[in-house]
Chain A
Amino acid sequence: MPPVVQLQDIHRIYANGEVQVHAVRGISLDIHKGEFIAIMGASGSGKSTLMNTLGCLDRPTGGRYLLDGVDVSNLGRNERANIRNQKLGFVFQGFNLLARTSALENVELPMLYAPRRISSQEMRERAMHALEIVGLARRHDHLPNQLSGGQQQRVAIARALVNRPQILLADEPTGNLDSKTSVEVMGVFQKLNDEGITIVMVTHELDIAHYCKRNLIVRDGVIVRDELVKDRLIAGEELLKLHQAEAAAKLTAASP
C-alpha cells in the first residue's frame, strides 16, 4: 500500500523583504496509514512550517507533496481549501472553537463547507456520532465557555473527525492543558489511532511524545532523528496510576 503522505525534498523559504529565511531545508518523509507520529523541535526549528505544509495551509517553495497519491504542492487557494476540508482534520493548541456556539454546531462547521451539500439531518447525525466518539454526546448543546479545557479539545477533535479525514493533524494539542487532562486527550488520540486513523502531532513535551508510535526531531529545517518509540506509554494505564496516586494522597491527608 502506498504511503498516505509522501514529502520529497521539501523546501520553504520566507522572503521577508531583503532577508530570506530558509525555514525548511529539504525534508523527505513517508507517512503510512495507521501511523501515530510526534514531531518535536525547539521553536524556530521549522516544525510549525512543516506542519503548515502537511496541512495544506502553506505551499512549499521547493519539492513535492503527494497526499493520497495526488500532488498537492501546486494547488490554488480554493483547491487546497477543499483538500483541508475533505482529507485533513485540524486540532489546535488553543482549541479554536467558535465562541457562543454550541458544541454540536461547532462540529457541524466543516460539513457546511463541504464541496457537496449535506442535508441538515445528516449533518446533525454525523456531528452527534463524532461527539459520541470523543465521549461528549451528552454535552452537545453546551457552549465552549461551559466546557472544561479538555472537553473543549475533545469537541475540536470531534470537529476534525467529522468529515472522515485521511490524517488528523494536531498542533500542540495538549499545550493549554494540565498534565492529567493532557493524558486524557492523548487517550482519545490513542483510541482513534487504534481504530486506524493516521495522526500527526507537533509537541515539545517529551512525555506526551511517548504516547505516539514514532518520533521525529526537527532542527534547523531538517529531520535530525526519526525513531520508533520503544517504551510507549498507554494513556489508560497512566490514568489508572494517576488515580491510584490521588487516592493514596487523599488517604495520607485524611489520616491524623
Chain B
Amino acid sequence: MRLVATTVIALRALRRNKMRSVLTALGMIIGVGAVIALVSIGNGAKLQVEASVASLGQNVISVYPGSVSTSGARGGWGSASTLTPDDALAIQREIAGVVAVSPETRDRAQVLANGLNWNTTVFGESPDFTSIRAWDLSEGAMFTEADVRSAAKIAVIGQTIADQVFPGSAPVGQTLRIRNIPFKVVGVLRSKGFNYFGTDQDDAVIVPYTSAMRRIARRTTVNTLLIQALAPEQMFRIQQETTDLLQQRRAGRDPDFTVRNQLELAQVATANARNMTALLGAIASVSLIVGGIGIMNIMLVSVTERTREIGIRLAIGAHDHDIRLQFLLEAMVLSLMGGALGILLGVGASQLVAQLNGWPTLVSMPAVIGAFLFSGAVGILFGFYPAHKAAQLDPIEALRFE
C-alpha cells in the first residue's frame, strides 16, 4: 500500500474543501467536547461528595444506641441509651489501633449572650473531637482533658453561633449562657458549611461531655460513641472488636447498640456520584455516535459529489485500495481533528462551568484519552462504507458522471 502517498492525497483533498471539512468535524468536536465536559462536571460532583463525606471525620466508627421494648412497644434506634463514657474509655484502653474516642451527647438548648439568643445543638465531646471530625479552630483553642475532668464551664462555638450571637465582636473570652448557665467561650471552629445531608454543621456549641452531662442535661448516658481508627484498613477489625467488647460489657443482655463504619456511608455516597458520572458520559457518548453518523453522511455525499474525481484517479492508475484508503484516511483525519478540537472545547467548557456556576470540575485523563480514541474508531467505522462505495466505482462510468 502506498500509505505515504495516499496520506498526502487525503490531506490535499481535505485542504481543497476546508469548509466541508470543518462542518464534518463539527459533529465530532461537539461530541468529544460534550463527553469531556460532562464527565468533568460529574467528577467534580463526586469530589465534592467525597469532600463532604470526609468532613464527617476521618476513619470514624460510630456506636449508636439500639432499641428497647417497653410493654411490647419497640422503641426504635436510640431508645436504649445505655452507652456511657465508661464504654468509651474501655474501647480506648482495650482495642488496638484506636487513636481517639469521644462520647458524644446532643441536646437542644437556648443560648444567650449580649442580649441575643439562639436555639442550637449543644454537643458534649472529648478534646479528641477536633481530630475525629478533622475540624480545626479558626480562633482560640480546644478545651483539654483537665477541663473534662473538672467539668469546666467552657465552650467552643461554631461559626453560625459566632455570627448570630456575637455579631461584630470577637467571641473568644466572652460569656455564653447555655440554659442560663454561663460558659466561657475559648474557641471558634473553622466554618464547614452544610453537610451532605443539608445540615448546617456550624450551628453547634461544643462543651466537655462531663459538663454537658452534669451541668446542662443531667444525664448518665451519651448519644453516640465516636471512635477514630489509625488507618482505613483497620476499620472493619475495630468495628468487630468494638461490637465484641461492648457485648462483653453487657454480659448476657441482648445487644442494644449498633456499630457503624464511615466507609459504608462513603461508599454509598461515592457510588451514587460515580453512577451519575457514568450516566452523563453515556448521554454524551450518544452525541459522539451522532457525530460519527454525520461524518458518514458527509462522506457519502462527498463520494457522489466527487465521482468524477474518483474516475480521474482510477483512470490514471489508482487501485481500489488507494481510493478506499484515501476516503478512510479523510474520515479518520476529520474525526481525530474533531476529537482534538473537542478536547480543547470540553476542557474549556468545564473551566467555564467551574467559573460561572462555581461547580467544581475535574478533567479526567481517561475520559480525554477514551473520547479521542473513540473518535478515531468512529472515523474508521463510519468512514468505511463510503470509502468502500468509492473504491467500487467503475472508472468509465465515473468519468462520464456529470
Contact = CB atoms under 8 A, between A and B. Distances in A.
A78 interface: yes
Interface stretch (A96-104, A176-184, A201-209): A96-104
Nearest to B18: A100
Interface string B302-322: 000000110111111111101
Contacts of A82: 317
Contacts of A86: 317
A232 to B, nearest CB: 30
B4 interface: yes
Most buried by A among B312, B319, B396: B312
A9 interface: no
A126 interface: no
B221 to A, nearest CB: 87
Interface residues of B, number: 25
Interface string A71-100: 000000110011011100010100010111
B5 A112 contact: yes
Contacts of B8: 112, 120
Contacts of A84: 315-317
A35 interface: no
B208 to A, nearest CB: 84
Contacts of B315: 55, 57, 84, 90, 96
A52 B4 contact: no
Contacts of A101: 12, 16
Interface in B2-28: 2, 4-6, 8-9, 12, 16-17
Interface string B380-402: 00000000000000011001000
A90 B399 CA distance: 12
A81 B6 CA distance: 16
A176 B99 CA distance: 95
A105 B317 contact: no
Interface in A28-58: 52, 55, 57-58
Contacts of B309: 98-99
A137 to B, nearest CB: 21
A113 B396 contact: no
B397 to A, nearest CB: 10
Interface in B277-327: 308-309, 311-320, 322
A58 B314 CA distance: 12
Contacts of A159: 316
A110 interface: yes
Nearest to B394: A57
B9 A112 contact: yes
A57 B320 CA distance: 14
B316 A85 contact: yes
Contact of B17 (A52, A78, A100, A105): A100
Contact of B2 (A57, A77, A110, A117): A117
A100 B12 CA distance: 10
Provide the main secondary structure of the chain B interface. Answer: helix
A247 interface: no
Given A100-B17, A105-B12, A113-B322, A57 B395 contact: yes
Nearest to B9: A112
A109 B12 CA distance: 11
A117 B5 contact: yes
A77 B314 CA distance: 10
Contacts of A112: 2, 5-6, 8-9
Contacts of B17: 100
Contacts of B322: 113
B398 to A, nearest CB: 10
B312 A81 contact: no
A88 to B, nearest CB: 9
Contacts of B4: 117
Interface in B134-153: none
B313 A113 contact: yes
Given A57-B315, A100-B16, A100-B17, A78 B395 contact: no
Contacts of A77: 319-320
Most buried by B among A57, A58, A86: A57
A228 interface: no
B308 A113 contact: no
A99 B16 contact: yes
A82 B314 CA distance: 10
Nearest to B15: A100
A57 B312 CA distance: 11
A114 interface: yes
Contacts of B2: 112-113, 117
Contacts of B9: 112
Contacts of A113: 2, 5, 313, 316-319, 322
A92 B311 CA distance: 12
Contacts of A55: 315
B308 A96 contact: yes
Contacts of A85: 316-317
B395 A98 contact: no
Nearest to A78: B319
Interface of B: 2, 4-6, 8-9, 12, 16-17, 308-309, 311-320, 322, 395-396, 399
Given A84-B317, A98-B16, A117-B5, 9 more contacts: A57-B395, A77-B320, A90-B315, A99-B309, A100-B16, A112-B2, A112-B9, A113-B2, A113-B318
25 contacts: A55-B315, A57-B395, A78-B319, A78-B320, A81-B314, A84-B315, A84-B317, A85-B316, A90-B315, A90-B316, A92-B399, A96-B311, A96-B312, A98-B16, A98-B309, A109-B316, A112-B5, A113-B2, A113-B5, A113-B313, A113-B317, A113-B319, A113-B322, A117-B4, A159-B316
Interface of A: 52, 55, 57-58, 77-78, 81-82, 84-86, 90, 92, 96, 98-101, 105, 109-110, 112-114, 117, 120, 159, 163
